[in-house]
Every structure is written in C-alpha cells, then in structure tokens.
Amino acid sequence: MDQQQPPPPTPNAPPPSSAVDPPPQPQPQPQIQQQTTPTPPSSTSSTAIPNPNPNPIPKPLPSAIPPPKQPPQPKPALPSHQPRSAAAFSRPWQQHSAQFTHFSSSSPSASSSPSPSLSSQPRGSIALGVPSSHSGPSPPSPSPPQSTPFTGSFGHSFGGTSSSNVSQARPMMRGIGMGSSVGSSSQMRPGGISAQHQQRPLQSSLRPTSSPTSQSPSTQNFQGHGLMRVSAVGSSSSTPSTLQTPQSPNQPWLSSGAQGKPPLPPPWHRPQLRAHIPQQHHSLQTVSQQQHVSSPQVPPQNISSIQQQEHFEQQFSQSRASQSLPHQQQDSRSQGSANQKPSSLAMVQPSTVQVTQNKAAITESDDSGGRILSKRSIHDIVNQIDPSEKLDPEVEDILVDIAEDFVDSITTFGCSLAKHRKSDTLEAKDILLHLERNWNLTLPGFSGDEIKTYKKPITNEVHKERLAVIKKSILAREAANAKHIIGQTAVNTKGNVGKAAANIWVLQMLKYEKYHEALFFF
Amino acid sequence: MSNPSTGASSKSKVSSSQPSETSFKRKRGVFQKDLQHMMYGFGDDPNPLPETVALVEDIVVEYVTDMAHKAQDIGSKRGKLSVEDFLYLIRKDLPKLNRCTELLSMQEELKQARKAFEVDEEKLGTLE
C-alpha cells in the first residue's frame, strides 16, 4: 500500500489552482464515492486533493500551514487502494486545509468552502488517517510545523471517527476506515462503516488510529482527540513525523502500533485479501478485524453479531480451536472470540502465537474487569433479528449474565474433560464433546481430522436372552394358530382328497411351518 | 448420481470402515469439486472460498456420519442395515423424504428399463 501511494501522488502534480474548483465538487462526491469505489478517486484525482488525502493519511498530518500548491500526489494512490476513504478524506481535507499541508491546493480552498454537510466528525477521522498514511511525496516544508498542528488538529478532526476505537488508545491502522467512515458515519452504522473499512484493512492498517466508527462525534471527538493525539504523537514521534518519507513513517508507526496489537495485521490480512468477498461480508471481516483495533464495544458488537449468530460457544471454541486448527476462518473467529473472552482465554495455554496475541489485545481492550460480553453485542444480535427491536436494560443485563454463565460452565467442564484426558491444554475437542453430549449442539468445522467411530449399541446378555424368549413365544403362538388353520383346512380337504393325501399334505404344511419358524429367527 | 439413501449408506459404510484402520485419517476435500458447483447453484460465488467449501464439507460429512450411526442403531435391532432405516430417520423432513422416495422409485424404473433392454437384446440376438 505504501509503495503504491508514493508513485501515484507523483504523477498527480496538477496545478493547485485547480484545487479551488475541485474542493467543492469532491465534497458531495465523497459521500457517493464511499460506496462507489474506484470511480470517485479517479475523478477526484484529476480535480484534486480529496483523493490523495487517503494516501497521505498514513503520514503524519501536516501542520496547520495550508500548502496551497501541494501536488495532488496522494490522489492517485488513494483511488487504487481506498476509493472510499479518498472520498471521505477529501471532505475533511477541504475543511482542514491548514492541517493537511500536502493536501495542497484543495485543502486551502476546501477550508474556504467546507462542505457544510461535513461535521466535525469527518475532520477528526481524516486527520488521523492522513498523518499516518502519507506516503512521502509531500513537500518537506510542512513536516515540522505539521506535526505540531497535527496533534492540535487532532482534537478537532478526530471528532466522530476516533470514537471508541481511539479510546482504546490503539490507533491502529484504520485510517482508511476513518475516511470512509467519515463520509458514511452520519449515514451508516459503525459496524457498517467498519465493514467498509475492513475491505482495505491491509492498506488502511498503516493508517494510525482512524477509528472507523464515529458514533457520537462530540464526545468521541474529545476522547478520540486525546487518544489520537497520544497515538499520533507516538506514531509520529517514531516516524519522521513528516510527510516526506512515504514508507518509513508508516513502517515505524506500524511497528509501534503492531506492538500493541500484533495479531491484528496478520490475521486480518488473509480474510481481507479475499477480494471477492462482497461488501456485505465486509462487516464480518471487519468484525474480526475491528476486534483488535476498535474499542471493546466495537469488537464485541461485530464479533457477537457474526459469531453469536451461530452459537455462543463457537466464540469460545474458536479460541480453543484456533490453537489446534489451522483454518483461517477459525483463526479470524477465534480472534474475535478471544477478544471477547479474555478471562477464559487466560485459562487456556495458547499454542499459537495468534492466540497469545489475541489475548494481549483482549486484555488491553478489556475495560470492565471480568466482563466477557458487552451490551453492544446484545444489541447487535437483536439487530440481526429485527432492526427495530428494542430491549429493556434489565433484559440486556440478564442476557449478558446468561451468556457469561454459559461460557463459564462450558469452560469449566471443558477443563475438567481436558484434565481427564491427562492434558494441561484445553483443546477444541473438549469443548466439542461437552457441547455434543450435554447440550446437543454440533459445531461443524472444528472437529479436525478425527473420524467419528461408530459404537455398537451396548446390549446386555440378559436383555438379549429375554428378547430371544419373547420371539420364541411369539413364534410358538403363530405356529399354534397356523396349525389350527392347517388342521381345519386339512379336515376340509380330507373329504375331497383322501386321508393319505391329506396326511401327507398336513405333514408338508408342518414342515413348511417349521421352515418358516427357522427363517423367522433370522 | 446414486440415490441419496443408498449413497448415504454406502458412504456411511465407507466412513465406518475407516476407523478400523486408523482413527486419525479423514480425507479432506472429498466433496470439494461437487460442493463448489452445488454452492454456486444455491447462490454462492462461482469460486467460493476454500474455507467455505471445507466448512460445508465438514457439515456434510458430519451429517452423513451421524445419519449412518443412527441408522445402524435402528438396523441392528432388526439385524441388518437397510434403506428403510434411512427413510425412517428422515420421516420428519418431508422434502427430503419425498425426494428420497422419488429417487428410489426412479432407481427401480431404471432397473426395469435395463432389464427390458437386455431382454430385447437377447431377443434380437436370438432372432438374428
């Protein structure tokens, strides 16, 4: 991603004068562009800055000095990778031209004509993304002053985007997500936003923080502001904090960010790379991704929305299964589930690095000590059933309690089974066995390569003998009935055929009957 | 394709015979190619994810194994496993049951047709 960003900005060195016109245009476009991917960026690239904004996002945001003549270098980079984010970014840049120096002409002009639709929220999100993701073509001048105003501008710009994600103090690479969320924040739910962002998790991963979900702009702005500032400062400090070096800022930031949540990039990478997953499925992916990045509220929501669809225990077993099963799906699920169940995970001895990483991420994000689920996940589940459904708070509390009790009981029994197996590691098969035997729940996809052996029904000898006796008595009764009938028919035939013939015929019938009896037993 | 019940019984027999050799071997991707086409038929992408196909295959194998075990439990009381045991197990699922009976009747019809065909061949042979 970073590599791609620098090259595209370079070709876009259109005259900044044109930025004036484009800024107004991109504003409405971003909203539309968020949903339409590459087309808006290409169109905006020619016009201006809005497109490039997403690219520069990774780099630290420029200072308040508005570079009027910053080439729209980042523009081309953005469209290729983050068409949505570009759209979203374009708006905020326009508003905060001062902040984004390298967003060049568009930004200054944009500030003059900020899109009224854009609230403070988009600004915040964009600001986050830009500084981290900027790839480098930006001029060196804005870098030093940019860093300082950047932090200052974070407070404003982060508005809604930072939101809960930022609160986690893990400005993970959700820059792109922020951009897209910015545009769509007002329109879409945080989960949906995250879903969109998830599409380019790899690319956006480099973006600092840029929390995609922007729910309450005002409050979140403040929280995000403080958090983003910390994260941005940290990331920027690690990086040259200048828009110059395209990759170095990203890499150091990424490494610093990665330290906080190592499992985030690798696990997301695979699911995100599956390009043909439609946007609808992005929410699923974003869930797994957001688990790590976003605040505890967001990940549990997404995770629960997906996983709770199936079963509660899946989350748990996934975390277990992830240890033994290599399936990517399971890994992503386990990550999500792992995030939700830090306490239970602590009991498990992780065999995979991802699990340990997930644990670290979970413990970091777990604010309420001991709480596995949050009400947000209950809300998500209910929304899946009926978007207009509302639950009383007491009902939600009860549901959370039930879920936690369920997880506790499953874990306890699973551990006792593992102990019975003379092993000190809780594995997927322990959980699966318990669920299958006691809850009659089957979870496909976790049983590994073991074949279910058929156990013949255990029958007692006494029972077998009794059954044999019953059969014999039935046969005897039938034989008696048959003989009676045969006798009657023989009597009838005697008159016609003759005694000898009748006798022979009766004997034959008896033999036939015995033959039948013998067959009956088999 | 063979009837679902007979096919299931044959598959279940195969799966049940495997444990006698080793309890750890289970071939992966037995239905991969067929399942991909079936998933496409039901609305999935023409090239579904391999993980999705693996999951669906797990579901299928688990279902068939479970069905075979239950049928064996029933059949052992009678003595031998038969098609009737499988039909008894899906008695509550009307679409499946009807489809099974339809396929079984088709199989009978085909048998009859093949028999008639062979008889005709013999007649022609004798005539010639």
> What is the domain-level CATH number for residue B78?
1.10.20.10
Most B CBs within 10 Å, among A280, A317, A452, A522, to test the B interface: A452
pLDDT interval class at A497 (50, 70, 90): low
Would you give per-residue pLDDT tens digits along chain B (128 residues)? 444 444 444 444 444 444 444 456 778 888 999 999 999 999 999 999 999 999 999 999 989 999 999 999 899 888 889 999 999 999 999 999 999 999 999 999 999 999 988 887 778 877 76
Contacts of A249 (CB under 8 A, 6+ apart): A58, A59, A60, A131, A132, A134, A136, A235, A236, A239, A240, A241, A242, A243
Q: Are A44 and A72 in contact (CB under 8 A)?
A: no
Higher pLDDT, A514 or A333: A514
> How many angstroms away from the CA of A437 is the closest CA of chain B?
13
Closest CA to A362 of A337, A397, A383: A337
Looking at the fold, whether B99 and B115 belong to one and the same domain comes out as: yes
Which of A88-97, A153-162, A202-211, B70-79 is the most confident on average?
A: B70-79
What whole-number distance in Å separates Cα of residue A34 and Cα of residue A274? 20
Inform me whether the C-beta atom of residue A514 falls under 8 Å from chain B C-beta atoms: no
Q: In terms of domains, do B84 and B67 share one?
A: yes
Distance CA A100, CA A66 (A): 6
Q: Let me know whether B52 and B74 are in one domain.
A: yes
The answer on pLDDT for A242 being more than 60 is no
Which of B59, B60, B62 is the best mutation test for A, with the most CBs of A within 10 A?
A: B62
In a domain, B127, yes or no: yes
- Helix (H) / strand (E) containing A310: helix A298-310
In a domain, B125, yes or no: yes
Q: Is the pLDDT assigned to residue A316 strictly greater than 70?
A: no
Residue-wise pLDDT tens digits, A348-370: 444 444 444 444 444 444 444 45
| Record: contact B59-A444, CB cut-off 8 A | yes
A445 vs B54: CB contact, 8 Å cut-off?
Answer: yes
- Provide CB contacts within 8 A for A442, sequence distance 6+: A435, A436, B62, B66
| % of chain B surpassing 90 pLDDT | 57
- State the Cα–Cα distance between residues A245 and A285, nearest whole angstrom: 31
Put simply, the answer to whether A327 touches B73 (Cβ < 8 Å) is no
Q: What is the pLDDT of residue B112?
A: 94
Q: Does B17 touch chain A (CB under 8 A)?
A: no
User: What is the predicted pLDDT for the residue at A498?
Assistant: 60
If DSSP codes are grouped into helix, strand and coil, which group holds residue A452?
A: coil
Lookup result for tokens 């015929």? A505
Give yes or no: residues B84 and B97 share one domain.
Answer: no
| Among A126, A106, A134, A108, CA closest to A242 | A134
| A454 contact B CB<8A | yes
Q: What is the pLDDT of residue A513?
A: 66
CA A360, CA A345: separation in Å to the nearest integer?
A: 10
Q: What is the pLDDT of residue A395?
A: 92
* A358: closest CA of chain B, how far (Å): 21
Burial label, A112 (beta-carbon count in 10 A; 0-12, 13-18, 19+): middle
In-domain check, residue B108: yes
CA distance B116 to B112: 6
Q: Which domain holds residue B125?
A: 91-128
**In the prediction, which pLDDT does A458 show?**
80
Q: Which is higher by pLDDT, B117 or A412?
A: A412
Same domain, B113 and B62: no
Please check whether residue B76 touches A, CB under 8 A: yes
Percentage of the residues of chain A whose pLDDT score is greater than 70: 24
Domain total of chain B: 2
Would residue B3 count as lying in a domain?
no
Q: Is residue B12 part of a domain?
A: no
The tokens describing A324, both together, are: 């033994």
DSSP character for A60?
P
Cβ-based contacts of A457 with chain B (< 8 Å): 73, 76
- The answer, for B82 touching chain A at a CB cutoff of 8 Å, is no
Residues of B in contact with A442 (CB under 8 A): 62, 66
Specify the DSSP element, H or E, that contains B122.
Answer: helix B94-127
What is the structure's pLDDT at A487? 82
Chain A within 8 Å of B25 (Cβ-Cβ)? yes
Query: Residue A231: pLDDT above 60?
Result: no
Note whether residue B15 is domain-resident.
Answer: no
**Is B42 a member of any domain?**
yes
pLDDT confidence of residue A274: 44
Q: Which residue has the tokens 């088709």?
A: B106
Same domain, B50 and B98: no
Q: Does B78 touch chain A (CB under 8 A)?
A: no
pLDDT in tens, A114-152: 444 444 444 444 444 444 444 444 444 444 444 444 444
Decide if B46 is inside a domain. yes
Whether residues B83 and B95 fall in one domain? no
pLDDT given for residue A464 in this prediction: 87
Q: Which of B51, B66, B76, B85 to mutate to test the interface with A (most CBs of A within 10 A)?
A: B51
Q: Do B75 and B98 reside in the same domain of the chain?
A: no
Tell me, what's the pLDDT at A447?
78
Is there a single domain that holds both residue B33 and residue B61? Answer: yes
Nearest Cα to Cα of residue A152 among A127, A135, A132, A181 = A127
Tell me the nearest-neighbour CA distance from A286 into chain B, angstroms: 17
Distance from CA of A334 to the nearest CA of B (A): 15
- Closest Cα of chain B to A454: distance in Å? 6
Residue A469 has pLDDT above 50, yes or no: yes
Q: Which residues of B touch A317 (CB under 8 A)?
A: none
Q: Give the count of Cβ contacts less than 8 A between chain A and B.
A: 56
- pLDDT, tens digit, 9 for 90 and up, residues A97-116: 444 444 444 444 444 444 44
Do B70 and B114 sit in the same domain of this protein? Answer: no
Region A378-393: what's the mean pLDDT?
90
pLDDT band at A423 (very low <50, low <70, confident <90, very high): very high
Q: Are residues B85 and B45 in the same domain?
A: yes
Among B27, B31, B58, the strongest candidate for a mutation testing the A interface, having the largest count of A CBs within 10 A, is: B58
pTM: 0.40
Same domain, B61 and B112: no
* Cα–Cα distance, A37 to A32 (Å, whole number): 9
- What is the tens place of the pLDDT at every residue in A61-73? 444 444 444 444 4
The chain B residue lying nearest A274, using CA atoms, is B49
Q: Between A286 and B120, whose confidence is greater?
A: B120
A420-430 mean pLDDT: 92
